[in-house]
Amino acid sequence: MPASVKEMIETANAAVPRISAEEARKLINKGALIVDVRDAPEVEKSGKIEGALHVSRGMLEFRADPASPYHCKSFDPAKPIIVYCASGGRSALSGKVLKEMGYPKVFNLGAFKDWAEGGGAVEKPIEAGM
């Protein structure tokens, strides 16, 4: 029987720890990579977390795979990675994929709006999405 999106997100949430904004700040201060997996129009409209790398969900595997011609050198298995999106679903799925790709320290921050409304630093305007 095929899995539903809801089931896939539940499985991803079980595999990838959800962290608070405060926990994310601590990891960022220690050098964690923070990745925004929203689509470019979303990021262009609202900005992104200060210092975040924007990699749309559709390009994540290509950017994270060292064997891909689209690999981004910011992805380093030795560093923690924090992912976020608009509500937490895409970031959960992204975190699970990164773990499957060999990134051991992956965390889901969840929703960008929670970060922004909680006073987290936001960059505006942003460069065009990758």
Is there a domain that residue 130 lies in? Answer: no
Q: What is the pLDDT of residues 33-42, one digit of tens each?
A: 999 999 999 9
Is there a domain that residue 38 lies in? Answer: yes
Is there a domain that residue 117 lies in? Answer: yes
Task: Assign residue 108 a region (left: φ > 0; alpha: ψ between -120 and 50; beta: otherwise).
Answer: beta
Confidence at residue 76, expressed as pLDDT on a 0 to 100 scale: 97
pLDDT band, very low/low/confident/very high, at 91 (cuts 50, 70, 90): very high
DSSP 8-state assignment for residue 87: S
Residues forming a β-bridge with 108: 18, 83
Confidence at residue 127, expressed as pLDDT on a 0 to 100 scale: 54
Do strands 122-123 and 48-49 pair parallel, antiparallel, or not at all (unpaired)?
antiparallel
Is there a domain that residue 45 lies in? Answer: yes
Rounded (10°) CA dihedral 26, 113, 70, 127: -100
Element (H, E) at 45: helix 40-46
Residue 128 has pLDDT above 60, yes or no: no
Whole-prediction pTM value?
A: 0.91
Q: What is the pLDDT of residues 54-84, one digit of tens each?
A: 999 999 999 999 999 999 999 999 999 999 9
CATH number at residue 21: 3.40.250.10
Is there a domain that residue 87 lies in? Answer: yes
Sequence-distant (6+) residues with CB within 8 A of 93 are 8, 9, 12, 57
pLDDT band, very low/low/confident/very high, at 18 (cuts 50, 70, 90): very high
Is there a domain that residue 49 lies in? Answer: yes
pLDDT band, very low/low/confident/very high, at 124 (cuts 50, 70, 90): confident
pLDDT band, very low/low/confident/very high, at 129 (cuts 50, 70, 90): low
Total domain count, the chain: 1
Is there a domain that residue 94 lies in? Answer: yes
Domain span holding position 100? 5-123
Residues 37 and 33: their CA atoms lie apart, in Å, by 13
Is there a domain that residue 129 lies in? Answer: no
Residues 38 and 66: their CA atoms lie apart, in Å, by 22
